[in-house]
Amino acid sequence: MNTRFLTAAVLAALASRPIHAQEPVEAAQGKLGVELAAIGTGLELSFAELDELLLWRHGRSPEGQGALLEYNKLRLLDKLGAEAGLEVTRADLNKGWEEFDEQVKASGMEGGARAYLAEQGVDPQTFREYLRLGILHERLTRRALGITADAPLTGEQQTMWLEDVIRKRRYEEQTHPWEGGIVATCGDLVITRDEFLGHLREQLPSDEVEDACYELLLEKSIRRRLPDVSDEALARGVQEELERRRRATEANPKFKGARYEQLLGAQGLSLESLARDPSVRVAALAQIWISRTYEEDDLREVYTAERNFFDGLFGEAVEIFAILQKAALFKNEYNPRTFDEASAALTELRGRIETLDDFKRLALTHSEDEETNEEGGRIGFVTRGALKIPEPIRGAAFGTLAESPGSVKGRVLGPLRLSNGVVLVCLGGRRPAPKWATMKNNVHRELRRRFLDETLHPDSVATWLDK
């Protein structure tokens, strides 16, 4: 959806706005949404605490850098408009709104602009502000390039003009974490730390902000539960957690031998930022609690008592490849084929498969699962209780394993009907259940998860974003 005024920096900024609740909830004596960002089980989180985390977690990330550049453009447009003596009147805004409303209705949305903005989670007043900046952007570009009001003007022209202005005014970012209070300058335009943090908080997706609130409150809740853990002990635990993450990351062939610090830097992170991050600190605290509570014999008792659970998640596994054909009960513009048509197509395809290599080759051109088709349909090693894998696939695979004590490599199963289509499955290698040294780590990890969940359940946390 577009209107002729919403171009370049303005359109980009508006399009990136996440869906947030428009009104804060009433809680904690009316402080939530005013002084507090979140509350939970007698705990309070201030906006200052939240913003400090967002600064370290996202301030130098690609998303944070994009938000900073767009914020600079929006602020600069406002300043350039004032310098040029340009004013966007109420009549201008009303005209722009009417044009946008007509475009929305022409697209088929009967409720027009208000219905569209409500669906996108954008407040109409916020939209009008972006509309005002969009009009300024167009008029400033026309004036600078000598283009009359009735002549065509492209978004590319507006973008190039504004970027040229930014270059001439020498946009410069200051050193993160901006302890001097200034994030960036563009000529005499100054973006302060507080201004940027407010903008960053608004631009980040709601679920990421809510996760940050939960993790900060979770750390507080654990510290309340473990008051005798000193800052020095926590610091040691954090360093041990970072070393565990370093070893796991650098051992992963996916990263092709890259150093941990290099991978963090690509995300705008550092060892210093991670040491401050509640996700790392919470993991360290959970490790401390488990180490205090469970000896190895205790871990064995837990495993024995819940063996079906642990073996289901972490036990014997089989490598699975799949060719998915999307389907539904009836064909329409969104569903290319019926379940019966997909099943018939995959039955024909099965007749052309003699080996696992045949299956992988056909998956490249016939599977409609974008996550796996380029890898020959490989899903990976799947355990009996892997809940992310549809039960029809797990059931067929482990039923075959039970019937075939020997090799099942290359065994083709299906077609199997799923909720979103029909799938042909091919089995690869078998992986036996891990020995106790490995299973112990799985039990340990599950107990840490349970500890965190019982310390502060996510459902007990309310943020200012909640409706």
Q: pLDDT averaged over the chain?
A: 90
Phi then psi for residue 381, to 5 deg, are -75, 130
* Cis upstream peptide for 415 (omega within 30°): yes
Which residues, 6 or more positions from 341, have their beta carbon under 8 angstroms from its beta carbon?
327, 331
**Chain-centroid distance, C-alpha 42:** 28
Strands in 182-186's sheet, in edge-to-edge order, are 171-173, 182-186, 189-192
Q: CB of 96 within 8 A of CB of 251?
A: no
Instruction: Summarize pLDDT for 14-42 with one digit per residue, the tens.
Output: 544 443 433 333 445 468 888 899 999 89
Instruction: Summarize pLDDT for 343-362 with one digit per residue, the tens.
Output: 999 999 999 999 999 999 99
What residues pair up with 192 in beta bridges, in sequence order? 182
| Other beta carbons within 10 Å of 266 | 11
- CATH fit for domain 316-432, picks 3.10.50.40, 3.60.20.10, 3.40.640.10, 3.20.20.70: 3.10.50.40
| pLDDT for the residue numbered 93 | 93
List the chain domain ranges: 8-204, 207-306+441-463, 316-432
Q: CB of 421 within 8 A of CB of 373?
A: no
Instruction: Summarize pLDDT for 105-118 with one digit per residue, the tens.
Output: 988 888 888 999 88
* Mean pLDDT along residues 98-107: 90
Among residues 407, 411, 417, which one has the least CA distance to residue 397? Answer: 411
Please, which pLDDT band fits residue 1 given cuts at 50, 70 and 90? very low
- Among 31-45, 69-83, 165-179, 421-435, which is the least confidently predicted range? 31-45
- Among 7-11, 129-133, 336-340, 451-455, which is the least confidently predicted range? 7-11
| pLDDT of 83 over the 80 cut | yes
Percent of the chain residues topping a pLDDT of 70: 93
Percent of the chain residues topping a pLDDT of 90: 78
| pLDDT for the residue numbered 334 | 80
| pLDDT for the residue numbered 28 | 52
Rg (CA), the chain: 28
| pLDDT for the residue numbered 133 | 93
